[in-house]
Amino acid sequence: MGRSIPKWPRTPKEAQQRSHRKLKALRNRAHDLLYEVSGLWDEGIISGSIDTVMADLDAGLDAIEDAIREEMQRAEDEGALWE
C-alpha cells in the first residue's frame, strides 16, 4: 500500500503545500470545464462571460495563495507555533 495522507496537516508548511495542490487542482478543473462549455458556443457573449469568470477565478485563487504566503511569513516572523 502507498503512503497514507493524514487527515489534517501536521505543520504549517504541510498545510501550505496541501493548500497549493488543492487550489491548483481547482483552477485546472474549473478551466477545463469552462473551456468545454465555451467550445459549445460560437465566440460572443457566452465565451466572453466565460473568459471573465476564468480571470476572476484566477484572481481570487491568486489572492488566496498570497494570503497563505503572508500568513506563513507572519507566523515565521512572530515565531508563532502551529495552533
Query: What confidence tens digit (pLDDT) does each residue in 42-76 have?
Result: 889 999 999 999 999 999 999 999 999 999 888 88
- Stretch 17-26: mean pLDDT, rounded? 97
Q: Whole-model pTM?
A: 0.79
Q: How confident is the model at residue 83 (pLDDT cuts 50, 70, 90)?
A: low
Of the candidates 36, 33, 41, 81, the one whose C-alpha atom is nearest the C-alpha of residue 57 is: 33
What's the pLDDT score for residue 80? Answer: 67
What's the pLDDT score for residue 3? Answer: 67
What's the pLDDT score for residue 27? Answer: 98
User: Domain map of the chain by residue range?
Assistant: 13-74
What's the pLDDT score for residue 19? Answer: 96
* DSSP string computed for the chain: -PPPPPSS-SSHHHHHHHHHHHHHHHHHHHHHHHHHHHHTS-SSHHHHHHHHHHHHHHHHHHHHHHHHHHHHHHHHHHTPPP-
Contact 56, 34 (CB under 8 A): no
Which amino acid is residue 59, in one-letter code? Answer: A
